[in-house]
């Protein structure tokens, strides 16, 4: 009886093994062939939210520029803007990294590359966008937040502020800004705008004298932006890859490299954002928090 049961057991495992063997061998073959192929690494960096912190993007860019096996970088931008300092930091770091370790950088836009997002794109060697994308919005918004002075008075809420310096309370939501304070904010906004225009004009080889045509907060379709020389080409991934192949020493197939952190079990369970950098739930919450912060906190925004 035991001998008969053992025979059936052995036969069962043999059948399973024979069933799985072709698939396993095929996978091993595909893996071997894939490893044997000559590939060229191309870095890919995604900027797909309001830019309020340059550090994560700058760290990723540095890793890619320092990796000698990475021959070019694709900067995928779907961004409506951000804080001036953060956008300028990425713009400046990208320019410096290109000097230290020259590599072709292509900015690719499918839907939106506006304001601070466009500021960053200007540091690329080439900007490629679809015809219907939104490009431009070269301007500055200074969000002064809410003034709730009258609302507080209606509910008999009294506030007290002790300050030194007549401009210090400009951020106080319980006090209306004075004409002098508003003039100060306008001066800050104008200076940020001038810096923005200067950098765009220099990198895109445009005349600052014609800024009222291509800047002034205006937005354009990709087709219009091409005519104004705000972008270099109409297209998508095919055109971006084609440019990379003409500018970088490419051998074999392209291998896309995105040096993001290893996702935890919880992160894998929750899912990730389009950029793959954070859990999807955290991505949504962060986006909402950024919007609230922009509306409530006084800050210049590109």
201 CB-near residues (< 8 Å, 6+ apart): 207, 208, 211
**E strands, 6-121, in order:** 39-47, 70-77, 105-109, 112-114
- Residues belonging to the chain: 302
Residue 182 CB coordination number (10 Å): 14
Determine the number of helices (DSSP H) and then strands (DSSP E) in the chain.
Answer: 11, 11
- For the CA atoms of the chain, what is the radius of gyration? 27
- Catalytic-role residue among 9, 168, 202, 264: 168
Q: Is 207 a catalytic residue?
A: no
Q: List Cα–Cα distances, 123 to 158, 200, 269, 270, 290, in angstroms.
A: 49, 9, 36, 34, 24
Round to whole Å and give the CA distance between 117 and 109.
10
Round to whole Å and give the CA distance between 130 and 236.
6
- Catalytic-role residue among 49, 86, 115, 137: 115
Q: Which residues are catalytic?
A: 115, 168
């Amino acid at each position: 009886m035991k001998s008969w049961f053992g025979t059936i057991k052995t036969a069962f495992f043999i059948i399973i093994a024979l069933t799985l063997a072709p698939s396993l061998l095929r996978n091993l073959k595909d893996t071997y062939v894939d490893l044997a192929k000559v590939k060229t690494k191309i870095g890919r960096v995604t900027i797909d939210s309001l830019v309020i912190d340059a550090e994560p993007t700058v760290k990723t860019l540095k890793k890619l520029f320092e990796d000698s096996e990475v021959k070019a970088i694709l900067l995928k931008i779907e961004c409506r803007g951000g804080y001036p300092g953060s956008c300028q930091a990425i713009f400046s770091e990208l320019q410096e990294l290109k000097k230290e370790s020259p590599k072709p950088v292509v900015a690719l836009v499918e839907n939106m590359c506006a304001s601070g997002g466009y500021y960053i794109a200007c540091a690329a060697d080439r900007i490629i966008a679809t015809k219907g994308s939104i490009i431009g919005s070269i301007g500055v918004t200074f969000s002064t937040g809410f003034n709730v002075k009258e609302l507080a008075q209606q509910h008999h809420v009294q506030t007290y502020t002790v300050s030194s310096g007549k401009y210090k309370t400009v951020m106080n939501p319980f006090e209306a800004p004075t004409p002098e304070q508003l003039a100060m904010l306008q001066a800050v906004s104008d200076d940020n705008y001038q810096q923005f225009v200067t950098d765009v004009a220099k990198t895109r080889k445009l005349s600052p004298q014609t800024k009222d045509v291509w800047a002034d907060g205006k937005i354009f379709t990709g087709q219009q932006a091409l005519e104004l020389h705000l972008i270099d080409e109409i297209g998508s991934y095919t055109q971006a890859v084609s440019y990379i192949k003409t500018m970088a020493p490419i051998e074999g197939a392209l291998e896309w490299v995105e040096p993001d952190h290893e996702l935890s079990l919880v992160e894998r369970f929750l899912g990730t954002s389009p950029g793959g950098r954070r859990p999807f739930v955290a991505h949504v919450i962060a986006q909402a928090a950024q919007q609230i912060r922009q509306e409530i906190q006084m800050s210049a925004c590109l």
